[in-house]
Amino acid sequence: MKKWRFSLFNALNYAFLTLFGLSMIYPFIYILVYSLNDGKDSMMGALYFLPRKFTLENYAQVFENHLIWQAYKITILRTLIGVVLHVTLCTMMAYALSKKTLPGRTFFTFYIFLPTIFGAGFIPYFITLQKLHLINSFWVYVIPLLFNFMHIVIIRTFLQGIPEELEESARIDGYGDFQIFLRIVLPLSGPVLATISLFIGVTHWNDWFSGAYYVSNKELLPVQTLLQQMLTEMEALSSSMQRAAQQGGQTVNVSMAGATPESLRMALLVITVFPILCVYPFLQRYFVKGVMLGSVKG
Amino acid sequence: MNETLLWKRIWRHKLLYLFMLPGIVWFFLFSYVPLYGIQVAFRDFTFSGGFTGSPWAGMKYFQQFFDYYQSSALIRNTIIISALKLLIGFAMPILLAILLNEVRQLKFKKTVQTLSYLPYFVSWVVVVTLMQRLLTPYGGPVNDLLTSIGLLKEPIQFLNNTTWFYQIIVGSDIWKNIGWNSIIYMAAMAGIDQQLYEAAKIDGAGRFRQIWHVTLPGIRNIAVILFILATGSLMSAGYEQLLLLNGPATAAIGSVLDVHVIGAGISQGRLSYAAAVGLFQSVIALVLILTVNRIARKVSDVSLF
């Protein structure tokens, strides 16, 4: 009797978690299918797991678009520059704050902690960006994201775990402070730097807000902002086209083929999401640790 | 003597101060200057006048907000949406962690976990685009599924529809964050002494009683702390999601303070007014978090500070 109850629980649990897992991945499979299917054909609906009329036309057209190329370039550029600078600067700060002998250590820790309790809010921040002439500049993507309190704490906690003796013996060997940082500390910090790179990299890659509200020059918009601008335009457009297709599609011209705004948007979505999907499973064990380190202190 | 010693110590650490310099400057510019700039909420801000040169306006802009015929609706909507997210969005990751914790098949567990983190790594723009596509009544897979299994007679317009608005907001928030937020509970559960489960089994406890008496107490402290932190955001409903999901059709129940601040401040250029609304929001949030922290300390001995 008891045994049976146990396995019922298990069966339900496995079934539920399987459905749950599918609900997490299916939307991505669906857009992939949609983007690989002929646009006009997709409008008929009933497209679920496999492309019905396979084509690469959507991707070809997306890559022909100058604005999309430009946006993709901006996204990649800001992510690369942003990650390198963020990780370098946060690690330097964290290294200094990890030294218990540093005079003023408590003060500086509090100095960077205080703004996390009470922020100024959006408007004073926005005015500050204006005053710093960051509005409508590429650097509005990079500079405001150079530091992050939680990231500094995570790196600092990690660095404190490196045995003091290592640095001491290096000092005896005649290493200077900077050499110790470069040759002892950095090489040992791989895991934590990978975690922080992923966190900040995703933030950069996904940021649409800065592009939408701080930048008006079309040549400077990142991909995410482009997608955001399509949200409202597309909805009206695609639903009216779709309605037309559903009502008349089956009877009218069956050979009708080609890309639609919606199929192009799905192709753009896939090339936006794809890089992240490729990277994150490999970094998973690192970021789980990162969450732990952050929570212990936070 | 002491003083020279301190200077010597400081000099010895000169490289470390150099390392901190960019950070000190950055936090000053991007955190402390805006804090100082809060005063624009009490001034008639002009760009040339800046933070300190614009004339004082007293409480004028706060008054303006409370006189605004929609201010109570804005506050109400914000609290409803964030409370729904707080209550449901807080419980779901715990539930997921408990279910995953009961899985003995490690490979299966790992796969589900990996999949569950996925939506956390895409932007709200991507999530809303996905929703538009999946939920459309014109041949979208969700409506197709629901009609084919007989749950629906005809397709539903899920987005831009007041009937479904809260479900969509809370549902998409959970979908995006549930996996990520469960990490911390999974870790806390991994730290529970396995002997406690053995002991419970010997005492005749079944699966559910083990969960109730061993698993839940094991994550109690971390749950309380996270709950206190979450209450701090009760006055903000999540501006990214609502900027993207709220439209004219749902404005009556979907307009919230966060979006109002951005709209009034940037789109309409009423910076002082928007700053006043934002400040009102931050002060309430601070009071909330302090209150809940105090209650938690009294009731459960767990608190943030």
Q: How confident is the model at residue A2 (pLDDT cuts 50, 70, 90)?
A: very low
Q: Report if residue B158 sits inside a domain.
A: no
- Looking at per-residue pLDDT, the higher value among B175 and B299 belongs to B175
Min mean pLDDT across A222-236, B74-88, B165-179 is at A222-236
Range of the domain at B113: 61-124+165-300
Q: Which residue of A has its CA nearest to B148?
A: A46
Number of domains composing chain B: 1
CB contact under 8 A, A246 and B271: no
Q: Is residue B231 part of a domain?
A: yes
pLDDT at A26 over 90: yes
Residues 6+ apart with CB under 8 A from B205: B213
**Does B107 reach chain A within 8 Å, measured CB to CB?**
no
Residues in CB range of B140: below 8 A, 6 or more apart: A45, B133, B134, B155
Residue B215 is assigned to a structural domain of this protein: yes
What is the domain-level CATH number for residue B287? 1.10.3720.10
Nearest CB to A102 within list B16, B29, B115 = B16
Q: What is the pLDDT of residues A55-83, one digit of tens each?
A: 999 999 988 888 899 999 999 999 999 99
C-alpha span between B40 and B57 (Å, rounded): 9
- Listed by number, the residues of chain A in 170-199 with a beta carbon closer than 8 Å to a beta carbon of chain B are 177-178, 181
pLDDT in tens, B205-223: 888 889 999 999 989 888 8
Q: Does A214 touch chain B (CB under 8 A)?
A: no
B268 within domain boundaries: yes
Q: Which residues of A touch B161 (CB under 8 A)?
A: none
CA pair distance B254, B245, nearest whole angstrom = 9
pLDDT in the model for residue A93: 96
**Residue B38 counted as domain residue:** no
Q: With beta carbons less than 8 A apart as the criterion, state whether A234 and A28 touch.
A: no
Q: What pLDDT shows up at residue A252? A: 42
What does pLDDT average to over chain B? 89
| Total tally of structural domains belonging to chain A | 1
- In this complex, which of A30, A44, A206 lies closest to B134 when CB atoms are compared? A30
In-domain check, residue B33: no
Encode pLDDT of A138-182 as tens digits. 999 999 999 999 999 999 989 998 888 888 888 888 888 888 999
Q: Which A positions 27-86 lie with beta carbon below 8 A of chain B? A: 27-28, 30-31, 34, 43-48
- The residue segments making up the domain with residue A72 are 2-297
Contact A283, A291 (CB under 8 A): no
Tell me if B222 and A295 make a contact (CB, 8 A cut-off).
Answer: yes
State the CATH number of the domain containing residue A56: 1.10.3720.10
- Among B21, B27, B282, most A C-beta atoms within 10 A, so best to mutate, is B27
Q: Tens digits of per-residue pLDDT, A221-263?
A: 999 999 998 887 766 665 666 666 655 544 444 446 678 888 8
Q: Is residue B155 part of a domain?
A: no
